[in-house]
Chains A and B, each alone.
Chain A
Amino acid sequence: MKIDAAIVGIGASPFGRFLPESQLGLMAKAFKAALADAGLERSDIDGLSTHMGSPLGVDYDRVAEAFGLDIRYVNQSWLHGRFVTNALQHAALAVSAGLADVVACVTGISFTRERDLLGGPGDMEGMREEGGTHGEAPTYGLTAPAGGAALSMQRYMHLYGGTSEKLAAVPMQIRQHALLNPDAFMKEPLTLEKHQASRMVVDPLRLYDCCLMTDGAVVLLVTTTERARDLKQKPVRIAGMQGIRSGRDEFIFAPPGLGINQQPATGIRAKPVDQEIYARSGIDRGAVKGLYTYDAFAPLPLFVLERFGFCGAGEALDFVQGGTIGPGGSLPLNTHGGLLSEAHVAGWNHLREMVRQLRGQAGPRQIADADVLQWATCWGDSVLLAA
Chain B
Amino acid sequence: MSQPTGLPPKPRPRLDGPERPFWLGLREREIRVQRCTACGHRRFPASRFCPECHSDAFAWEAVGATGTVETFCVFHKAYFPGFLGEMPYAVVQVRLDDGPRFFSNLVGTRPADIRPGQRVTAVFEDLDAEATVLKFKLIEGDAA
A residues with CB within 8 A of B: 119-121, 123, 127, 129-131, 135, 137-144, 147, 150-152, 154-155, 158, 199-205, 248, 259-262, 265
Q: Indicate whether A143 sits within 8 Å of B80 (C-beta atoms), given known contacts A150-B73, A200-B88.
A: yes
Chain B residue nearest to A141 (CB atoms) is B83
A119 surroundings in chain B (CB, below 8 A): 79
B72 part of interface (Cβ distance < 8 Å): yes
B100 surroundings in chain A (CB, below 8 A): 262
Judging by beta carbons under 8 Å apart, are A137 and B19 in contact?
Answer: no
Q: Indicate whether A201 sits within 8 Å of B77 (C-beta atoms), given known contacts A155-B116, A158-B116, A259-B70.
A: yes
> A120-B80, A202-B76 are known contacts; what are 16 more A-B pairs with Cβ within 8 Å?
A130-B18, A138-B10, A138-B11, A138-B80, A139-B12, A140-B105, A140-B133, A143-B80, A144-B77, A144-B79, A147-B91, A158-B117, A203-B75, A204-B73, A261-B103, A262-B43
Write 25 A-B pairs (CB below 8 A) sorted by A numbering.
A120-B79, A120-B80, A127-B11, A129-B17, A129-B19, A130-B19, A130-B46, A137-B103, A139-B11, A140-B105, A140-B135, A141-B10, A141-B75, A141-B79, A142-B73, A147-B91, A150-B73, A151-B93, A154-B72, A154-B116, A155-B71, A155-B93, A158-B117, A200-B76, A259-B70
Chain B residue nearest to A144 (CB atoms) is B79
Interface residues of B in 34-88 (CB under 8 A from A): 43-46, 51, 70-77, 79-81, 83, 88
B residues with CB within 8 A of A: 10-14, 17-19, 43-46, 51, 70-77, 79-81, 83, 88-89, 91, 93, 100-101, 103-105, 111, 116-117, 133, 135
Judging by beta carbons under 8 Å apart, are B91 and A140 in contact?
Answer: yes
A152 surroundings in chain B (CB, below 8 A): 71
Chain A residue nearest to B87 (CB atoms) is A141
Judging by beta carbons under 8 Å apart, are B72 and A151 in contact?
Answer: yes
B79 surroundings in chain A (CB, below 8 A): 119-120, 123, 141, 143-144
A204 to B73, CA, bound (A): 7
B71 surroundings in chain A (CB, below 8 A): 151-152, 154-155, 158, 260
A121 surroundings in chain B (CB, below 8 A): 11, 80-81
